[in-house]
Amino acid sequence: MKIISCLLVLVMTLVTMSSGLAQSKAEKKAAEAVAAKAFVESKDFVFYAESASPMKARTIYLNTATYTLTIAGDSVVADLPYYGRVYSSSYGSDGGIKFTSTNHDYSVTERKKGGWEISINTKNLQENFKIFLTVFSNGRASLNVVGTNRQSIQYSGNISSKKK
Instruction: Give the torsion sign (CA, 39, 43, 44, 50).
Output: positive
Q: Is residue 111 within 8 Å of residue 117, measured between CB atoms?
A: yes
Question: How much is the pTM?
Answer: 0.78
CA-CA distance, 101 to 108, in Å (whole number)?
18
Residue 6: the pLDDT is 42
Question: What residues does each domain of the chain span?
Answer: 33-160
CA-CA distance, 118 to 111, in Å (whole number)?
10
pLDDT in tens, 121-147: 998 778 889 999 999 988 899 999 998
In CATH, the number for domain 33-160 is: 2.40.128.410
Residue 163: the pLDDT is 60
Residue type, 87: Y
pLDDT in tens, 31-85: 777 877 887 888 889 999 999 999 888 999 998 678 999 999 889 999 999 888 8
